[in-house]
Chains A and B, each alone.
Chain A
Amino acid sequence: MDLFLQFLSNTGYLLADYRHVIMIVVGSIFIYLGIAKKYEPLLLVPIGFGILVGNVPFFKGFGIGIYEDNSVLHYLYFGVTSGLYPSIVFLGLGAMTDFSSLLARPKLMLLGGAAQMGIFFTLLGALFLGFLPREAASIAIIGGADGPTSIFLTAKLAPHLIGPIAIAAYSYMALIPVIQPPIMKLLTTRKERLIRMPDPREVSNRELLVFPVVAVLLCCFLAPTAIPLLGTLFFGNLLKVCGVTDRLAQTARTAIIDTATILLGFTVGASTQGDVFLTSQSISIFFLGAVAFSIATASGIIFAKIMNLFMKEKINPLLGASGVSAVPGSAREVHLMGQSEDPSNYLLMHAMACNSSGVIGSAIAAGVLWSFMVQ
């Protein structure tokens, strides 16, 4: 009888408290959104299931939990805390990305730069709310709307905040269809949304080939701390475009990125144990994340409108919203909004140009913030 009672006292049913229940509900919502609503399923399903697994209560000291030494989850989590998984994800992302629309209209890259303003506004907001500079920088990067970049920078600057920051970043990325359209409508007139973009010029293979080499040198000389992200991003892209490493590119954009995404999502989810996740800090991070994302969207649109004041050939200001690096979610939203006004207006290619420059911009911003904090 004593043995049975001892066993019962070690089960999750008796160890659970309200925080575990809340997190299990959150995990279930993530899984629901991913499967039923198809909001970023590749991210939300692993994260949601990770949240479920991470919030099963257990007796501390068995070497089970993600924060316990020598546990399996702890070893898998090393890829997050070391910044390994985000770098691998960027490798695959580079092998997937077609930069031809960006090369055809390089001006659109400025929109990717403008959308990063959300990061720096949020840095101020986080400091205002009393976060330490390293924590504030990690929270601010949510404004880049780039999950791997957020995790990478947080792992370097404020590892204790990885859980809430990763969940906030991925939640807002998944909620793009909810967050961005009202801001886009609010800041643009119908006439502006109807602006058509001319067809992009044809880009030669040589341009595509030279671009990753030039870009990695320019960006990494500017912000060497962005090497783990941009180095792998442009390496992956070179594998894609060089024409002699198709096998490697194929592996990078399928098996490698998929493995990294599974492990990243699952372990980040598992790191959100109720007792360490449900704090007032996490609520502030979610609030600041929403502010960062909204400001990023708005600043891209406003900058596009400013550019139109000086340009003969107007650009559709909706494209500014895709300057955040949520690939391809924000580009898709811009395209859909353009089409809702005029079904024959195809903005997707142009929006992808802004989107890919947003990826580069947020990685540079992460590098810049990191270098500020180590000085």
Chain B
Amino acid sequence: MYGLGAITANNGWVMSVTGALIVFSGLAVLSFVISQLHKVLNLWENRVYYYQKLNNNKRQTDKAESTQEKTPSQPVSPQDMDDNIVNYMPLLEELGESFQLSELYVLSQKKGLGHPHLSITYLRQANILISQGDGVFTWNQQKVINNL
């Protein structure tokens, strides 16, 4: 059998359309999954911090709800300590135990973190960044965990 009749008789139209759709959608799903892969891995690598931040946020919400009637709400500080620490945690892992402040500044700029000067100053004032002399700094791990 030849011609369009042969295509129809052998279910060719359905096979072609279905086959093309399956292949394309399979690759589209794979493409979506791998586009999210680095985000999922980042979440997994920083799971302790995100988990603690989640708990902290929950505690703050509960606290705010309980004191809402007693005190007027405060404006949120742009230099919120928890956010600052969470933002800078991946940089800590990348830089290792001790580092120069300039390295931290360059890396934070590279990662697109806002106001690196202010943020780093704030971390120093809060004794989260501790000087070891000769311009070398380290992180106060205990303080980080307490703050989170």
Interface residues, chain A, with chain B CB atoms under 8 Å away: 102-103, 106-107, 109-110, 112-114, 116-117, 119-121, 123-124, 127-130, 132-133, 136, 203-204, 206-207, 210-211, 214-215, 218-219, 222-223, 357, 360-361, 364-365, 368-369, 372
Contacts and interface: CB of A to CB of B under 8 A. Distances in A.
User: What are the nearest 4 A-B pairs in CB distance?
Assistant: A113-B27, A109-B31, A106-B35, A120-B16
A372 B30 contact: no
A136 B28 CA distance: 26
Given A114-B24, A211-B34, A365-B23, 16 more contacts: A106-B34, A119-B19, A120-B15, A120-B16, A120-B19, A124-B12, A128-B3, A128-B7, A129-B2, A222-B22, A361-B23, A364-B23, A368-B19, A368-B23, A369-B19, A372-B19
Interface centre among B11, B22, B28, B29, by most chain A C-beta atoms within 10 angstroms, is: B22
B27 A357 contact: yes
Contact of A116 (B13, B24, B32): B24
A361 B21 CA distance: 12
A360 B22 CA distance: 13
Contacts of A368: 19, 22-23
A113 B4 contact: no
A12 B45 CA distance: 69
A336 B107 CA distance: 36
Contacts of A109: 27-28, 30-31, 34
A116 B37 contact: no
A369 B14 CA distance: 12
19 contacts: A110-B31, A112-B27, A113-B24, A116-B24, A120-B20, A124-B16, A128-B2, A128-B3, A204-B38, A206-B41, A211-B34, A214-B33, A215-B30, A223-B22, A360-B30, A361-B27, A364-B26, A369-B19, A372-B19
A159 to B, nearest CB: 20
Given A116-B20, A133-B10, A106 B31 contact: yes
B1 interface: yes
A215 B29 CA distance: 10
Nearest to A215: B30
B6 interface: yes
Contacts of A215: 30, 34
B145 to A, nearest CB: 24
A170 to B, nearest CB: 22
Contacts of A210: 37, 41
A113 B31 CA distance: 10
A116 B37 CA distance: 25
B1 A207 contact: no
Contacts of A112: 27
A117 B16 CA distance: 9
Contact of A106 (B2, B19, B32): B32
Contact of A128 (B4, B15, B19): B4
B2 A130 contact: yes
A204 B7 contact: no
Given A215-B30, A222-B22, A360-B30, A103 B16 contact: no
Given A102-B34, A124-B7, A223 B2 contact: no
A150 to B, nearest CB: 16
Contacts of B33: 214, 218
Contacts of B19: 119-120, 123, 365, 368-369, 372
Contacts of B35: 106-107
Contacts of B4: 128
Contacts of A128: 2-4, 6-7
A110 B15 contact: no
Contacts of A106: 31-32, 34-35
Contacts of A222: 22, 26
Contacts of B24: 110, 113-114, 116
Nearest to B22: A368
A156 B93 CA distance: 51
Contacts of B27: 109-110, 112-113, 357, 360-361, 364
A367 B12 CA distance: 17
A219 B30 contact: yes
B37 A103 contact: yes
A113 B28 contact: yes
Nearest to A222: B26
Contacts of B17: 120
Contacts of B28: 109-110, 113
B27 to A, nearest CB: 4
A136 B15 CA distance: 11
A152 to B, nearest CB: 16
